[in-house]
Structure 1
Amino acid sequence: MNQLLGDRYRVVKMLSSDIFGETYVAEDVQLPDRPKCAIKQLKLPSTNPKSLKLLRGVLRKKAESLKSLPVNPQIPHIIEYFEQGDSFYLVEELVKGRPFSEELIPGNPLSEDRTVSLLKEVLDILAIIHNAGLIHRGIKPANILRRHSDGCLVLLGFGLFKEVSDRAMRSQGQSPRETFNGTGLYIPPEQYSEQAQFNSDIYALGAIGIQALTGYTATELSTLLSMQGHQAENGGWERGCSVSPACAKILNKMVCSNTQQRYQLVREVLEDLQRLERGKPLAVPSNKIVPIPRSPASGLVQQKRKRTKPKTEAKAVRSLSWKHWGLVGLAVVGGLGVLWYGKLPQRGLSQYFFKQGTSQEEGGNVKQALKSYQRALQFHGNDARSYYRIGLLQQEEGNGVEALESLTRAVQLGSRSPQVYYQRGNLRFNLGDRAGAIADYNEALDKQPNYAEVYVNRGSVYGDLGDDRRAIADYTKALEINENLPAAYLNRCLSRSNVGDHPGAIADCTRAIDLRPTHTFAYENRGLARLRLEDYQGAIADFNTAIQLDPQDPNPYYNRGLVRQSLGDRAGAIADYTTALEISSQYVLAYYDRGIAYLQEGKRERAIADFKQTATLCLELGRLGCYEDAQYQLRQLGIESNTDTSESTN
């Protein structure tokens, strides 16, 4: 207990322990008042050195993402993380309270009102986490703490260590702990296969809601559902339970095993809970959707903004009748007049610098325009227009995080412009916050229902989530508004191909080409659709055209290599993969598929070199799946990968 962890934290007491690590209360001896904190330890497994390197990389990345969460009193702040010996440590704010599991007393179900209140409070916390692009992965009663100081709920126990420890257990031929102790009730099916989504957290919270209403323990409820032969989503748990049909319907949708029929966003659950409290009908459930893998060729509508002077809204001035004012009223009006005229110079200077910024922006002088808008804010700090223009320019300069902060400030200051939400949605999607992007696109459409570009970009997010049917609906809506949008045809082409409508996909890509004959992605996506129809010659023709249009794009070379390999032209495939790698040396799939082609050609040493390079890159990128694929090929060849020193032979 006297040992210092990280050379500064002295352990005070142990809170919990299992085979993978321990949780402590510790004090920071480097600070004067020695504040207490919580430290979570994960004992790193003694496994293959390369797999261990990957696990460490995953832990560091996830710890960094937790540190970047917005400051919120209901989410413990991550102080730091470090490695010591054979363990990884995460240091976080210590919150005093009692776990919600102590409020779940067996045989004493909670009321519907209390359960709904719980769901709403946790959903509000989850909204912050999801908007930051993170999935909690560890929602269960023990990780929901009721703080002693104010009674508010605090969400603990991000699945950072759980995910890695489960992965380590699988690597040692064991099953995750939750399958044996009842807490598997809170884990959706997709999370067992390491495919957690944002709505995986919704599933876990829904299971807690059902447990609260029934008064069963987690083990009892899991056993009951198992004996009934179906999942909680199919109902049955509510028999003998004091719950309204509408509330049961919400919970059943939260715990639906099909991720596409489950609630997609926290916001959707909150809206239905609000309807429940107001006694209004729930939203109509979405149709069944089958997720299909999506090609990276699709994306957002990229439009150049016209550097035009923003229009200012005219301000209506009400005249006042002197008959309705006494002397007191006259004094008040006079005082307000003094204050108003006192602000005129400030507002006038702000308007001057704002106009100067727009002129500089129109002239292409981005840096000077940024300075002018910032000067405008010095004289009028609550000017949403200036924050909006600053955000757009920061985005153009490649400062995505700063741009997001500026656009968010514009929203906080009351901007009602759909363009603000549209641009912030684009930023959030590019930064990986898909839930936040959808929320912003929804806001933009609420304010401007015929905003075609928003439908296109929201469709791109749905497509990125594997929800191609919903994506197709958005692209189609965009084309109903504007039938000449190449991006809508291009992305609908890809989504149609993903759901098996290859002829429709080819028609859409052809239309995109008609509108923009030099659209490289349109040829690439049409080539992929033709490849799926086994129209190999048509696919090669499209990839050839894409190469002519952009010889520095590695994707058509790689895709043409796949076609050639399917036709038995392994030499041609190897040449295409090699060209793709000359353009982009980090193209992991090209190394892997070239290794397969070399193996088919009997060139064993070259195949080994490519599989080793694949393993190296996958480790660097933290992609366990492709790393294991490469390792499998090497094991088949009787080789133990040396990913630290191997190089590829081009």
Structure 2
Amino acid sequence: MIGYILRRRYRIIEQLGSGGFGETYLAEYPEDLPVSPKYRCVIKRLTRPQTPDLDTKERFRKEAAILFKLGKEHSQIPELYDFFEENRELYLVQEFIEGHDLGYEIEKGKPWSEADVIQLLQEILEVLAFVHQNNVIHRDIKPLNLMRRYSDNKIVLIDFGIIKEISTLEVNAQGKISSTVPIGTHGYMPSEQFHGHPRLCSDVYALGMTAIQALTGVSPQELRIDPETLEVVWREKAQVSNLLTDILTKMVRYNFRQRYADADEALQTLKQSGLLSLTFTTSLKRIKINGKYGYINQMGRVVILPQFDDACDFCEELARVKIDDKWGYIDKRGKLAIYPDFDEAWGFSEELAIVEINDKYGYIDKTGKLVISPHFEDAGSFSQGLAWVRIAQHEHYIDKTGRVIY
């Protein structure tokens, strides 16, 4: 498809992804007018379902109309520019979001602060509440479908499942058209959605699992399920207030009747909890301008000029930044607090941070002093006084002196 021109207007320049539901491409337009530079957009080609053409086209038009409405009325949902059929293939043309997905921010073994998770919940719940008010279920909330837009640092909700479902339609034995494959991602998808009965609260579950992943640094697929209650066991892996624990626990209950009914109910509970007051003093947020990273405050004003090759969010008053292939730390004035001497570095947790030197992992304090020498094959952040490490391909837990506990 690279170089192919669709509708004499959209030139395919790169494949962004593919799967059972179709392919996604980056395209330039308008190809039919002498405009320079060209604009960019995302084009999705859907896998043709096993249903009659008239049924497929009608369903496609209805679902595209929903996406058009959502994108027009909310700035954190990509706009739908066009949808059409060409050579019996179905295509969607959507706004291209310049940014990165939250998979780059929610990393294994690197837990977020509670304040940052609360802010994440608030922002996504506000977008999702709008989606639910339109009686639409996203069906695939996860870090890869949450884009951090570079222009304003806001999170954009992408890749709605309503269009994916078209690719799974078949005519069953009773002559009715139905979906044959559950839409969603293992670990983020609750039981009722897996069995083909998604609800608004299914999105609440998926967002809850995303928040727990950020809070613990552990992916949903690695969390234990209680064999008797079927509930996700996560509390022991995070240092978190009882208020936020209660909210997240209700978001991810196995029985959908015990969850918040929709995003707005969860959002109102979050607002009434008093937890949002914690976000008033949260970290500055990074922004990328002309290939360099800096930081903005909550008003959107640049307070640390873009000058770093890479940068991460503030954690315990310091942020890790990359300068000439080495990582160090800055304070909230943008001054170097710890000189960039490390091959890789992670955020502070309980006053210590993981650093990598010559392919080995150790820990530094906030002065930059190596308090636990780098001799581990892998390592995790401290939580409740302990951190997991890998020694000779076996996992252990150490205390803050570096002593192996078990």
Structure 2 length as normaliser, TM-score?
A: 0.60
Aligned to 1:128: 130
Match of 2:93 in 1: 91
Distance 1:220 1:177, change over 3 A: farther
Amino acid paired to 1:201: D
Distance 1:167 1:256 in 2: 29
Q: State the one-letter code of the partner of 2:73.
A: V
Amino acid at match of 1:195: H
Q: Given residue 12 of structure 1, which amino acid in structure 2 is its aligned partner? A: I
Sort the Cα spacing of 1:36 and 1:208 in 2 relative to 1 into closer, same or farther, 3 A: same
Superposed CA RMSD in Å reads: 2.8
Query: Quick one: structure 1 residues 107 and 138, their matched pair in 2 at CA, closer, same or farther if it must change by over 3 Å?
Result: same
Bigger helix share = 1
Alignment match of 1:271 (pick from 268, 272, 280): 268
Pairing partner for 2:117 from 115, 118, 143: 115
Structure 1 residues 63 and 173, CA gap change in structure 2 (3 angstroms)? closer
Q: Is residue 41–residue 89 contact of structure 1 (8 Å, CA) maintained in 2?
A: yes
Q: Is the 8 A contact 2:41 2:94 kept in 1?
A: yes
Residues 138 and 162, structure 1, Cα contact 8 Å, conserved in 2:
no
| Contact 2:139-2:183 within 8 A present in 1 as well | no
**1:110 CA displacement:** 1.3
Which amino acid in 1 is paired with 2:59?
A: V
Task: Look up the equivalent residue of 2:135 and give its one-letter code.
Answer: G
Residues in 2 aligned to 1:102 and 1:231: alpha-carbon distance in whole angstroms: 33
| In 2: Cα distance, 1:169 partner to 1:175 partner | 13
C-alpha separation in 1, matches of 2:183 and 2:196: 15
Aligned-pair CA distance for 1:267? 2.3
Equivalent residues of 2:5, 2:12 under 8 A apart: yes
Amino acid at match of 2:48: L
CA distance in 2, matches of 1:86, 1:192: 30
Q: 1:235 to 1:16 in 2, by over 3 A?
A: closer
Which consecutive unaligned segments of at least 5 residues does structure 2 have?
A: 278-406
Give the counterpart of 1:212 among 214, 221, 228: 214
In structure 2, the residue corresponding to 1:260 is in which secondary structure? Answer: helix
Kindly state the Cα deviation for residue 219 of structure 1 after the two structures are TM-superposed. Answer: 2.5
**Cα distance change, pair 257–56 in 1 and its aligned pair in 2 (3 A):** farther
Higher RCO (Cα < 8 Å, 6 or more apart): 2
TM-superposition CA deviations, 1:604-628 (whole Å, max 9, x none)? xxxxxxxxxxxxxxxxxxxxxxxxx
SS in 1 for 2:91: strand
Unaligned ranges ≥5, structure 1: 281-650
What residue number does 1:27 align with? 28
Higher strand share: 2
* Shift in alpha-carbon separation, 1:245–1:217, aligned structure 2, 3 A: same
Q: Which of these residues, 62, 73, 76, is aligned with residue 75 of structure 2?
A: 73
SS at match of 1:194: coil
Task: Indicate how the Cα distance of structure 1 residues 30 and 279 shifts in structure 2: closer, same or farther if over 3 A, else same.
Answer: closer
Instruction: Indicate the residue corresponding to 2:194 in structure 1.
Output: 192
DSSP-derived class of the 1:76 partner: coil
Q: Deviations over 1:492-520 (max 9, x none)?
A: xxxxxxxxxxxxxxxxxxxxxxxxxxxxx
Residue in 2 that maps onto 1:401:
none
Give the match for residue 348 of structure 2.
none
Bigger radius of gyration:
1
Task: Tell me the secondary structure at the aligned position of residue 164 of structure 1.
Answer: helix
- Using a 3 Å threshold, how does the CA distance of structure 1 residues 71 and 173 change in structure 2: closer, same or farther? closer
Residue of structure 1 in register with 2:17 after alignment: 16
Question: Which residue is equivalent to 2:45?
Answer: 41
Alignment of 1:433-448 (within 5 A): none
CA–CA separation in structure 1 for the residues paired with 2:44 and 2:96: 11
Shift of 1:176: 4.9
In structure 1, the partner of 2:370 is none
Q: Does residue 243 of structure 2 align to residue 253 of structure 1?
A: no
Aligned mates of 1:134, 1:14 — CA distance in 2? 28
Which residue in the other structure is 2:55 paired with? 54
1:205 offset after TM fit, Å?
0.6
How far 1:263 sits from its partner (Å)? 0.5
After TM superposition, the score normalised by the length of structure 1 is 0.38
Partner of 1:229: 227
Hey, what does 2:236 align to over in structure 1?
A: 239
Report deviation, 1:82.
Answer: 0.8
Specify the code of the residue in structure 2 equivalent to 1:36: R
1:63 pairs with 2:64: yes
**Separation in 1, partners of 2:195, 2:7:** 34
Give how far 1:143 is off. 0.6
Q: 1:268 to 1:239 in 2, by over 3 A?
A: same
Using the alignment, how far apart are the partners of 1:78 and 1:257 within structure 2?
34
Looking at structure 2, the residues matched to 123 and 252 of structure 1 have their Cα atoms a distance apart, in angstroms, of 16
Contact residue 118 and residue 276 of structure 2 kept, 8 A: no
- Deviation at residue 98 of structure 1 after TM alignment: 0.5
The sequence identity of aligned pairs, in percent, is 37
For the structure 1 residues 265 and 76, does the alpha-carbon distance in structure 2 shift closer, same or farther, using more than 3 Å as the test? same
Distance 1:254 1:58 in 2: 31
Aligned-pair CA distance for 1:230: 5.4
Residue 168 of structure 1 and its aligned partner are, at CA, apart by: 5.6
Cα shift at 1:106: 0.6
Question: Which position in structure 1 is the counterpart of 2:282?
Answer: none
| Counterparts in 2 of 1:206 and 1:24: CA distance versus 1, 3 Å | same
SS at match of 1:186: coil
Residue 498 of structure 1 corresponds to none
Give the letter aligned to residue 229 of structure 1: P
Residue 279 of structure 1 deviates from its aligned partner by 9.2
Once the two structures are overlaid, the 10-residue window that deviates more, 22-31 or 160-169, is: 160-169
Per-residue CA deviations over 1:219-250 (Å, capped at 9, x if unaligned) read 213xx22xx32567x46311131122221111
From the superposition, tell whether residues 278 and 185 of structure 1 become closer, same or farther in structure 2 (CA, over 3 Å): closer
- 1:393: which partner in 2? none
| Contact 1:203/1:255 (<8 A) preserved | yes
- Separation of aligned partners in 1, 2:139 and 2:229: 20
Q: Is the 8 A contact 2:102 2:143 kept in 1?
A: yes
Q: Deviations over 1:540-589 (max 9, x none)?
A: xxxxxxxxxxxxxxxxxxxxxxxxxxxxxxxxxxxxxxxxxxxxxxxxxx
Q: CA deviation at 1:278?
A: 4.9
* Cα pair distance change 1:152/1:278, threshold 3 Å: closer
Go from structure 1 to structure 2 and tell me whether the alpha carbon gap of 1:149 and 1:278 turns closer, same or farther (over 3 Å shift): closer
Give the 3-state SS of the residue equivalent to 1:83 in structure 2.
Answer: strand
Number of residue-to-residue matches in the alignment? 268
- In the alignment, structure 1 residue 5 sits paired with structure 2 residue 2: no
- Rounded Cα–Cα distance in structure 2 between residues aligned with 1:257 and 1:151: 33
Q: Is the 8 A contact 1:59 1:160 kept in 2?
A: no
Contact 1:107 1:216 in 2 (8 A): yes
| Alpha-carbon distance in structure 2 between the residues aligned to 1:55 and 1:119 | 36
Q: Summarize the alignment of residues 323-334 of structure 1 with structure 2, pairs less than 5 Å apart.
A: none
One-letter code aligned to 2:211: G
How far apart, CA to CA, are the structure 2 residues paired with 1:36 and 1:279? 37
Counterpart contact for 2:63–2:163, Cα < 8 Å? no
Matched ranges for 1:458-537 at <5 A: none
